[in-house]
Amino acid sequence: MSFRVGVDIGGTFTDFCAFNDVTNEIHTLKVLSSPDKPGSEVIDGIKALGVRYGVSASDVVYFTHGTTVGVNTVIQRKGIRLGLLVTRNFTDVLELARLKMPDMYSLLSVRPEALVTKDRIFEISERIRADGSIEQEVDPATVERSLADVQAAGCEGVVIALINSYRNSHNEQAVKTIIQRLSPGFPVFCSTDVWPIIREYERTVTAVIHGYVQPRVSQYLESLQQALLDAKVNAIPQVTKSNGGVMSAELGRTACAQMILSGTAAGVIGASYVSKLSGHPNTMSLDVGGTSADVAFIRNGQPQFGIGEVVGEFPIFIPSVAVTSIGAGGGSIAWVDDFGILRVGPESAGSKPGPACYGNGGERATITDAFVVLGYIGQFDLGYSAIEIDVTKARNAVDVLAEKIGKETEETAQAIVDIAVSGMYMEISKL
């Protein structure tokens, strides 16, 4: 007996699909994700597949995995604190960005705060000409000084993005070498290693996103690899890429930018397949998870591809399935700001503690709790009995917000749902 196993780990649930190569049977199940112990949910799921469907770990001949750990890290802004080294007089690169505003028709539209703020961007004396020739070699003294400033700012890593380096990476690599000599083990990310393509802003923001998520993604994949070995799964783990392809988990640890939309892309590829089978080749896919919601269009049964897809509030210039991710999922937390306005997300309750209705210690109201209060869910267990809904705890959590805004519990729950749906509609209308 041999099985092909696909695993999609989200911020709240981990989904499993096992395909029997002999009988063509398909088995599915869900388990809660374990962000504090990455990879453990894979073991739990494989054990559950064995108990429920007789799938043995040794029978797994192919293992592919889609994960939202990268995109969720950006959406929730939970990556590492980065510094950025740029060519002298180019410290405005992330703030200037491009002309297009988030909402081009609003006079009040503002750009999101960059993942690396201006106070953590430092200059290097060097210059590469537009044709790739070297006008000025790297000044080691400026590298040493800027590295000291980066570390004094409490940064956990540094990105190097120098002007015109896509034509010649010599100076970027020289800066990297100096940093590694001065501070061995300090994470360094060169834009030319991540995305050596023309256009300074696009190359820089992509490198920044890569560096922002890399430690978390790498740690996660390392834990996953070890968990599979412990479970006696002999198949080499593969991870899905943003463009819908796959690569080894080992490669994914260093090529994180290529798997930012890993789980998201896999969902769209699956949706395109279903659209063709159903006879509806022109469709829209809406993938609502625990932390984010992903929107994509499918034309003539094929997913659309592009460069510059929006992740959270930022574009990432890696070839990928054309999809938009927003911070509104089932676990998105509802809260009241300083002006008494009800808001939803982007922070998520995840799986632990999770929504209040899960009974795992969560006390803050989420979109899921609002659905429970309104009676949309709660009559049965969720996720193949992975969760037993506690209606009382959901109501108690929503009650806290209801008191703050002076509304009834049901009104507040409906408002939470309306805000979440409105956010999704706004994102869809921009496509």
How confident is the prediction along the chain (431 residues), in pLDDT tens digits per residue? 799 999 988 777 889 999 999 999 999 998 888 777 767 888 889 889 988 898 888 899 999 998 878 888 888 888 999 999 999 999 999 988 887 777 777 788 788 889 999 999 999 999 999 999 999 999 999 999 999 999 999 999 999 999 999 999 999 999 999 999 999 999 999 999 999 999 999 999 999 999 999 999 999 899 888 888 888 888 999 999 988 899 999 999 999 889 888 888 888 999 999 999 999 999 999 888 887 788 889 999 999 988 777 777 788 888 888 887 676 788 899 999 989 999 998 888 877 788 999 888 899 999 999 999 999 987 676 766 777 889 999 999 999 999 999 999 999 999 999 999 988 888 777 76
**CA 278 → CA 28, 282, 321, 322, distances in Å?**
21, 11, 21, 21
Residue 73: predicted pLDDT: 87
Residue 324: predicted pLDDT: 76
SS3 content of the chain, % helix, strand, coil (to 5): 40, 25, 40
Q: Where in the chain is the domain with CATH 3.30.420.40?
A: 3-73+216-262
Dist. CA 223–CA 86, nearest whole Å: 34
**52-75 exposure pattern, b = at least 16 Cβ within 10 A, e = fewer:** ebebebebbeebbbbbbbbbbbbb
Residue 265: predicted pLDDT: 86
The CATH number that domain 3-73+216-262 falls under is 3.30.420.40
Dist. CA 256–CA 251, nearest whole Å: 9
**Cβ partners under 8 Å of residue 392, min gap 6:** none
Dist. CA 69–CA 262, nearest whole Å: 9
Helix segments in 153-199, DSSP class H: 170-182, 191-194
Length of the chain in terms of residues written: 431
Helix (H, G, I), strand (E, B) or coil at 336: strand
Q: Which of 187, 168, 192 is nearest to 83 (CA)?
A: 187
For β-strands 342-348 and 305-306, DSSP reports them as unpaired
Q: Using CA atoms in the order 337, 339, 343, 346, what is the torsion angle rounded to 10 degrees?
A: -40
Q: Using CA atoms in the order 290, 287, 5, 73, what is the torsion angle rounded to 10 degrees?
A: -50
Statement: the pTM of the whole predicted model exceeds 0.85: no
